[in-house]
Amino acid sequence: MNSYKALIIEDEINNVAILKYFLTKYCINIEVVGHASTINEAVSAIDLLEPDILFLDIHLNEGDAFDVLDRLKHINAQIIFVTSYNEYAIKAFKYNAIDYLLKPVVIEELILAVNKAVKNIHQQRYFDFNKLAMLSKTEMPVLENNEYIAIASIDKIDLLKASDVLYLESDSKYAIFHSVDGKKYTSSKNLLHFEKIIDSSRFFRVHHSYIINIEHVVRIIKKDGSYCELSNGMLIPIAKRKQNDFNRFLKIKS
């Protein structure tokens, strides 16, 4: 399991202890590497420790958390505010905070915030955009015989047999391939990119978020909407606007 470094910026020692306890007990992939109570301490600690996640109180000795962020030339850490003051939320999100937790901290909300931070960190590490820009120049998204799909990540290109793909799923700017063996492959290209280049006799975009491999569709369910049931039991929704086109694709009379 990957471990992520956290720095707590808070001037109340009791609050530091509580937050550290919660993180240690409920977020086992988080390592609290230190805490700071002043602006100068915080800036020095961030430069020295290079934390993955910052937990910031608003009011600090000699200033506030925004003064800390303003002092930093650049910051790669995920920012989570933990404070008693709800009136600063809008300003916090202007500083790219991923969450704003009010004291007393609710454990479930803390866990969700940490999970969101970890997901962001993972995406930033996995998708190094400088490397992706270089890789995209040599990427072969699909081989000409349509039997394989090339899925590029930062350090490799996975060749996946088209027949082994159950479906593709949209994840913001990226596309996730789900294979018959339960594995997932994430590409830097989005779903629209693959919709244009994959075998149109085998794959169909049934929804804004999904492209399915018709070879793995076992039935169409028409109850509380329309769904494709795949060979692994997964239900994929069919968008209403796609229904007629999908019927024609399957040669089903409306």
Question: All domains of the chain, ordered by start, with CATH?
Answer: 4-126 (3.40.50.2300), 133-249 (2.40.50.1020)
- Mean pLDDT rounded to a whole number for the chain: 86
What does the pLDDT look like over 165-213, one tens digit per residue?
999 999 878 899 999 998 989 888 889 989 988 888 899 999 999 999 9
Q: What is the C-alpha radius of gyration for the chain, rounded to an integer number of angstroms?
A: 23
Q: Locate 74 and state its tokens.
A: 């650049």
Q: Is the dihedral of CA 113, 115, 116, 118 positive or negative?
A: positive
pLDDT band at 216 (very low <50, low <70, confident <90, very high): very high
CA distances from 113 to 15, 109, 166, 201 (A): 18, 6, 31, 42
Give the tokens for residue 146. 């349509």
Per-residue pLDDT band for 131 (boundaries 50, 70, 90) equals very low
- Top-confidence residue, 217 or 250: 217
Q: Of the candidates 181, 244, 246, 183, which has an alpha carbon nearest to the alpha carbon of residue 212?
A: 246
Please give the residue that has the higher pLDDT: either 201 or 127.
Answer: 201
- Asked whether the CA dihedral 88, 59, 80, 106 is positive or negative, the reply is negative
What 3-state class would DSSP assign to 227? strand
Higher pLDDT, 179 or 128: 179
